[in-house]
Structure 1
Amino acid sequence: MNEPNIDKPQLLLVDDDKSLLRLLTIRLEGEGYQVTAVEDGQSALKKLQNDSYDVVLSDLRMPGLDGLSLFEEIMGIRKDIPVILMTAHGTIADAVSATQRGVFGFLPKPVDHDELRTLLQKALSQSQAAQPGDWAKDIITRSPDMLNVLDQAYRIAQREVSVLISGASGTGKELLANAIHKASNRNNKPFVAINCGALPENLLESELFGHAKGAFTGAVSAHPGLFREADGGTLFLDEIGDMPMTLQVKLLRALQERQIRPVGSSKHVDIDVRIISATHKDLHKEMEEGTFREDLYYRLNVVNLKLPSLKARSEDIPLLARSLLQQSAQRHGVNVSQFSDDAMQQLVTSSWPGNVRQLVNVVEQCVALTQTPVIPLHLVEQALSATKQSWPTLTEARDAFEQQYLFKLLKMTDGNVTRAAELAGRNRTDMHKLMKKHELDAADFR
């Protein structure tokens, strides 16, 4: 047996037709691939467990372990390896089923060599891009858009610049922030995260900057704060768009001076942290409305990474669903191995307004309710229906309460903004900003 040539792409070829196996091996080696050829799925699995391959090219219809079953097994070994299936008995249904499960490509026999060459080149390009290392091992993707984000993330991780991650709720902003930290030179220091929309202003200030003993009622001991907890590492500020204006000023000063002053203390403390922030809001709109500081925006947004929605990376849904299913089944100690074909098709074609977070919820519900190793369509439909009325995030709940509160206040004061501001404990300027945010007009209440 020839020793693997690490300079050549490693291709595992699987087909029970010996003559075709020899022919394809000769052709592919002529194209510059290092080819390992085997005649059945079980032999392919043994090779995959011991060696590393960039792409797998397999027959669909084989005795024993067929192509789709082999693909399912491969996903349990290495989720990022592209698999291309060939068949002399190809149908549209086969192709649809294969691609919905996450198979990279599908070729009918006799194989057109130009089509095969093009498909292998695309698969190889993905395989190389999808191997960023351990730093991003928790991010499962084959989406070109997502791989492009990861490529940018890896490059900026090496530079000491602030990063703003934007994207809808549930797209995995904290996961990406953590990956950037792992790829950076600060990876041996702490990664500390906080949701800026989850705490009231005074508590958020104390959490970030720390406080001295006796700084306020209940401060029975000094608290270092998250800036010092993340010293030398990365501080992730999630939902930065929800940070109150007064704290935005203090954050900007801390970033400019690389110092913080704990609440109730007269001493400044030097800090050494990298800031990664995230938001689902349109910060340009927030700046126009005066609820987010422009100078802080440009300090935080040296580099912007935008995460695509789950719907925009639908090719990742089968990979994510299988991985989440495996994790959930293992965690709960139940025998659940896969989704039925029609259940997977439902997952792939759904709209996913809640993004990956919603998918996690759907898979968890299916695992909890299934009574068979294969999750049926009706359980997926039931879980999807339930998550459409999912519990709101704290930010969503707070915004809904704020709007309802303002509505009642303006109704009670007959649209008198000055009186409404007094009752709310705010000044007129703040009240007008809040009314604009929730699209409320005082004239409608007079």
Structure 2
Amino acid sequence: MPASNKPSSGAAATAQQRILVVDDDADMLRLLSLRLKGAGYEVIAVGSAEAALAQLDMARPQLVLSDVRLPGKDGLALFDEVRERHPSLPVILLTAHGTIPDAVEATSRGVFTYLTKPYDGKDLLEKIGQALALSAPVAAQAHANEAWRAEIVSRSNRMTELLAEAYMVAQSDASVLLLGDSGAGKELLAQAIHRASPRAAKPFVAVNCGAIPEALLESELFGHVKGAFTDATSNHKGLFQAAEGGTLLLDEIGDMPPALQVKLLRVLQERAVRPVGSSQSTPINVRIISATHRDLEAAMAAAQFREDLYYRLNVVTLALPPLAERREDIPLLANHFLDRLARKYDKRLSGFAPEALKALTTAAWPGNVRQLFNVVEQVCALSTTPLVPLTLVQRALRIPSAQVLSFADARQRFEREYLVGLLKMTDGNVADAARLAQRNRTEFYRLLQKHALTPGHFKSDAGPDEGAGDDVADERQE
């Protein structure tokens, strides 16, 4: 590869810089791969947008380079999905002259740049180097200043990537939709985004839209004036005004009543609230973060959630993985919680016994991080030894401490005990035992052999030789 095609020293590739290349033209894909590998990049090459999306989470590229014209989803649709999943991941598009207008529009939506075919190799490598250089400092800055995410304890790759994206999103004022199961830590992530944002010095206010009765939720959000309803004895500022200049978290937004969704949409459009009973609107300056464990797209299809509100809230989506998908974080979180709770309960606890930590790491965790905290709090309160034992963890997880046999083992045990009982009952007489079991003698003998049982040993008044003789006689009578 000519030296001129290699990136400059300021944008030199490293072994960690991985590029996902997407092109349905096999020859072009091979040429791009060779050029990028020659420049020192690691390359993941695929022939469609669908294949690229399948590789996105596994390959964890630092940049996506895609043709615009692709079979199935095109390069622009691919960019939209990449932006939704990984807002900080730069995308460069390769376009023919016929699709230049589309590519120009895409740059206004966030595509790093586009290059026309036939592209110049040196120009391509320079653009890639620039994109990587611009995106790298954001991730580095996110890791350099850990204070904003101090409450989020993690070392998993998925959380590292998520937090880097959250830090980048925090620098803007875009509305964010947090998706994740209950207990996964959506409110903690919302607080972290607030602390990393220019609004950090202003209030962070959270409201659970599913926990407040519908009749009260409007007043809680927007406020009310004196006399607006029976109990309104004075003016009351709502949570939007309480969060002025800062961030408002609308938790469990999927549970918001449809009638209130209309009023929330009006507030977001007008950037002003009208307290209940008032004829005047008050301007607001609030950053909105919403969160839900529900599938809002399914809710929209069922006419339970407004589509226009969804797109107003969902400028950027961040999805928190469940605890079961980041098990490497479980020991870290468990010991972090134990240290904090040991101080709360004034106990000297040094950690978990190895088998106890293994039980925590392999548990199902349907309640996610919240459930883990509750389990650790219970074992902390009950522990009487420096190392938390397995029995306490099993109790907190509601796992029986007694041995639990598999179905096959339980069946084997029952079968042997049943045969022993029959032989004792019949004084070792195989014919009688087989008759009671409703099995023929040949099958019954096979069962005895399977469980290493000798009928003669069950005769109450016969020696081993006599018992053996009876067995033979019984067999001859068959």
Q: TM-score, normalization: structure 1?
A: 0.57
Q: 5 Å matches for 1:252-263?
A: 252-263=265-276
Correspondence list, 1:283-302, <5 A:
283-302=296-315
Show the counterpart of 1:209.
222
Aligned pair partner of 2:163 in 150, 174, 177:
150
Match of 1:139 in 2: 152
Structure 2 counterpart SS, 1:236: strand
Secondary structure of the structure 2 residue equivalent to 1:160: coil
2:176 to 138, 163, 179: 163
Q: 2:369 aligns with which of 342, 356, 363?
A: 356
Q: What CA deviation, in whole Å up to 9, does each residue of 1:367-415 have, x standing for no partner? A: 011111110001000001189xxxxxxxxxxxxxxxxxxxxxxxxxxxx
Partner of 1:240: 253
Alignment partner, residue 5 of structure 1: none
Q: Within 2, Cα distance between the matches of 1:152 and 1:145?
A: 11
> C-alpha displacement at 1:334, in angstroms?
1.1
Q: 1:221 Cα shift?
A: 0.9
Q: Contact (CA 8 Å) 2:379, 2:396: kept in 1 or not?
A: yes
Residue of structure 2 equivalent to 1:408: none
User: In the TM superposition, what is the alpha-carbon distance from 1:200 to its structure 2 partner?
Assistant: 1.0
Partner residue in 2 for 1:231: 244
* Partners of 1:345 and 1:371 in 2: CA distance: 20
Aligned to 1:307: 320
Give yes or no for contact 1:167–1:279 (8 Å, CA) kept in 2. Answer: yes
Q: State the distance in 1 between where 2:354 and 2:142 align.
A: 29
Q: Note the C-alpha offset of 1:214.
A: 1.1
- Secondary structure of the corresponding residue to residue 205 of structure 2: strand
Residue pair 1:236, 1:275 contacting (<8 A) in 2 also: yes
Structure 1 residue runs of 5 or longer lacking an equivalent are 1-125, 388-446
- How big is each residue's C-alpha offset from its partner over 1:22-77, in whole Å with a ceiling of 9 and x where there is no partner? xxxxxxxxxxxxxxxxxxxxxxxxxxxxxxxxxxxxxxxxxxxxxxxxxxxxxxxx
Letter in 1 for 2:352: F
Q: Take 2:328 and 2:143, find their aligned partners in 1: how far apart are those partners?
A: 14
Counterpart residue identity of residue 153, structure 2: I
Q: Secondary structure at the match of 1:276?
A: strand
Indicate the residue corresponding to 1:370 in structure 2: 383
- Which amino acid in the other structure matches residue 332 of structure 1? Y
Which deviates more from structure 2 when the two are superposed, residues 358-367 or residues 128-137?
128-137
Distance 1:293 1:132 in 2: 38
Amino acid at match of 1:384: L
Map 1:108-119 to 2 at 5 A. none
Matched with 1:347 is 360
CA contact (8 A) 1:135 1:179 kept: yes
Deviation per CA, 1:330-366: give whole Å up to 9, x if none: 0111111210000000001111000000000000000
Query: Does the CA contact (< 8 Å) of 1:130 and 1:142 recur in 2?
Result: no
What TM-score, normalized to structure 2? 0.54
Per-residue CA deviations over 1:243-268 (Å, capped at 9, x if unaligned) read 00111000000000001100011111
Residues 129 and 147 in structure 1, CA contact (< 8 A), matched pair in contact too: no
Pick aligned residue for 1:329 from 337, 342, 348: 342
* Partner Cα separation in structure 1 for residue 144 and residue 206 of structure 2: 26
Residue deviations 1:110-168, cap 9 Å, x none?
xxxxxxxxxxxxxxxx9997554210011100010011110000001001100000000
Counterpart of 2:366, as a letter, is P
Q: Secondary structure at the match of 1:284?
A: helix
CA distance in 2, matches of 1:217, 1:237: 27
Structure 1 or 2, whichever has the larger Rg, is 2
Q: 1:176 maps to which residue?
A: 189
CA distance in 2, matches of 1:127, 1:385: 42
Partner SS state of residue 356, structure 2? helix
2:252 and 2:293 in contact (8 A); partners too: yes
Is the 1:189–1:231 contact (alpha carbons within 8 Å) kept by the matching residues of 2?
yes
- The answer (yes or no) to whether the contact 2:142–2:167 under 8 Å persists in 1 is no
What SS is found at the alignment partner of 2:174? coil
Distance 1:128 1:264 in 2: 47
Identity, in percent, stands at: 60
Mapped partners of 1:147, 1:160: distance in 2 = 22
| Higher RCO by CA contacts (8 Å cutoff, separation 6 or greater) | 1
Identify the match of residue 187 of structure 1 among 181, 195, 200: 200
Residue aligned with 1:304, SS: strand
- Matched positions, count: 262
CA RMSD of aligned residues (A): 1.6
CA distance, structure 2, for counterparts of residue 292 and residue 227 of structure 1: 21
Q: Secondary structure at the match of 1:235?
A: strand
Q: Which of these residues, 398, 401, 404, is aligned with residue 385 of structure 1?
A: 398
Gap runs ≥5 in structure 2: 1-138, 401-478
Secondary structure of the 2:376 match is helix
Taking the aligned partners of 2:142 and 2:169, their CA distance within structure 1 comes to 16
CA distance in 2 between partners of 1:180 and 1:381 (Å): 36
Q: Which amino acid aligns with 1:335?
A: R
Say whether the 8 Å CA contact 1:142–1:316 is kept in structure 2. Answer: yes
